[in-house]
Structure 1
Amino acid sequence: MGHLLISRERLRTPDDQPTDAEVLLLGPISVLPEYRRQGVGSALIHSALPICQARPELAVVLAGHPEYDPRFGFVAAREFGLLPDWDAAMIYPFRPELNHHAGLKLPL
């Protein structure tokens, strides 16, 4: 019916060098056409976030939709000073030390 991929990535410096700060990248998320608009994608995200939150990474990031993903607790990465400064660069923060990484790039 649906699929969601989670991978571990590192925040990067503005010149694209990896740092020690790790995040989880959520996506791609896909749902078979005949199961769309039935809550499958939402169920995948709702079941994945507690699993992610139990891990040591700072946050979950995704290239999302600013009108859809906030319902799950995602916010614009720019609220933490993270790059890229796109509306679709979304983050679900877990750890307060995420605030210390302003100016770094998400692995999107």
Structure 2
Amino acid sequence: WRVDDGHYTSLKAFLADINLFPTAARQYHDAEDPDGQRIISRSHTLVDMVHVAVGQLDPALVSFCEAVTARRRAHPHLAPKANPHSTPSSEPAPATRGSLRLRGDKAGS
């Protein structure tokens, strides 16, 4: 919801929160418990995946977004107003995974 609500004004701010996931996972889940270990491991995997995705962003797009953020900070009256339609729904949108490995399918089947 923070992304939809415009909480993050920079990629750096977004990544700072994402990087907290493993710390939070360790704080709330027992590393000695198999379920806790799995959650902690997945939090690290998620952070890695986000960093890979960010690394694939077009640097020109990142620069453009940083310039927009700088202009909005310099001129707050130009920033768009909050979108009243950005309220999260109670049900998440269905997701489709593209990875055969993640779906448990074998290549060629």
Q: TM-score range by the shorter chain?
A: under 0.3
Higher-helix-fraction structure: 2
TM-score by length of 1: 0.24
Which of the pair has more CA radius of gyration? 2
TM-score by length of 2: 0.24
